[in-house]
Amino acid sequence: MSNLADVAELTRRARKEAGLTQEELASRAGVARSTVARMETLARGDMSVAVLVRLLEAAGYDLKAVKHGHGRTLEDILAEERQGSES
């Protein structure tokens, strides 16, 4: 992902793969349906990270940071470091 349009597309895809309508996702995430529509289309040209996380979680996804070109998440790297320091 390189821009907000990619994130908006990911959000829409996550909702559809979860088999949810915008209304259903909004209800699960505790936001208005118009918020879901705005996040999926970038109608206002902005995106709230807090709302993005709520929508993805409501669709059954976690938001993870992965260094470009790598398969491991930041969470994976930190867990490996913790495990190494315990040895």
- Give the DSSP letter string of 28-69: HHTS-HHHHHHHHHTTTS---HHHHHHHHHHTT-----B-TT
Q: What is the pTM of this model?
A: 0.68
Is the pLDDT at 33 greater than 90? The verdict is yes
Give the residue with greater pLDDT, 11 vs 69: 11
Query: 4-62, what's its fold?
Result: 434 Repressor (Amino-terminal Domain) (1.10.260)
Would the pLDDT of 66 be above 90? Answer: no
| Residue 12 to residue 18: CA distance in whole angstroms | 10
Average pLDDT over residues 59-63: 89
Q: Where are the domains of the chain?
A: 4-62
